Amino acid sequence: MGWPTLLLDWMMPSDDEFPQTLCNCLALRQASRHVTQFYDQALAPSGIRTTQYSILHRVHAQGPKTVNELAEQLVMDPSTLTHNLRPLLKEGLVVLQVGTDRRRRAVALTPQGQATHRRARVLWLRAQAEFERVFGSTEAAALRQTMQNIVRTALANGESRPPKPARKRRE
């Protein structure tokens, strides 16, 4: 049995194992944990977890960001991000640079962090392709769009309005 076959078995538990829930929060958290475990397993040879990869990739793609900017972009509480940064700082993968305002610190990749990101990126791309193979690329794209729509709502602010529909372009 090869890796993809084992993965398929692992990703597709029986309906009896996981009965459907009516709670949106529970369903999202279960799916999130399941997918996170899959990506963590795929990234393990790089020495980082998916939460750390997300940080490294964002800083790699956009350059140094303050903790607050990065937390906002990753939809995290700044204290949670600081907690997730500790092992990256300890391992020398990121540094906190002093900004123009000495009170502000920006997260930046070190050369070692760049190398780790390159190694992890290859593993992430494989995991991404495998997820889309198992789940379906159309379904995966629709899932990402749905998750983005959820993030754009004001639910965390106590508001329950649905996101505004995208405007249709006039031709």
How does pLDDT run across 70-113, given as a tens digit for each residue? 999 999 999 999 999 999 999 999 999 987 777 788 999 999 99
Percent of the chain clearing pLDDT 90 (strictly above) = 70
Do 53 and 124 form a contact (C-beta atoms < 8 A)? yes
What percent of the chain has a predicted confidence (pLDDT) above 70? Answer: 80
Q: At 140, is the pLDDT very low, low, confident or very high (cuts 50, 70, 90)?
A: very high
pLDDT, one tens digit per residue, over 37-81 is 999 999 999 999 999 999 999 999 999 999 999 999 999 999 999
For residue 114, give both structure tokens.
Answer: 């760049």
Give the separation between CA 28 and CA 163, rounded to whole angstroms: 18
pLDDT at site 171: 42
pLDDT of 119 above 90: yes
Residue 93 and residue 76: Cα distance in Å, rounded?
A: 20
Dist. CA 109–CA 97, nearest whole Å? 10
Question: Does residue 17 surpass a pLDDT of 70?
Answer: no
Mean pLDDT of the chain: 85
**Tokens standing for residue 46:** 């790089």
pLDDT at 27 over 60: yes
Q: Residues 106, 65: contact at Cβ < 8 Å? A: yes
Concatenated DSSP letters of 34-94: HHHHHHHHHHGGGT--HHHHHHHHHHHHH--EEHHHHHHHTT--HHHHHHHHHHHHHTTSE
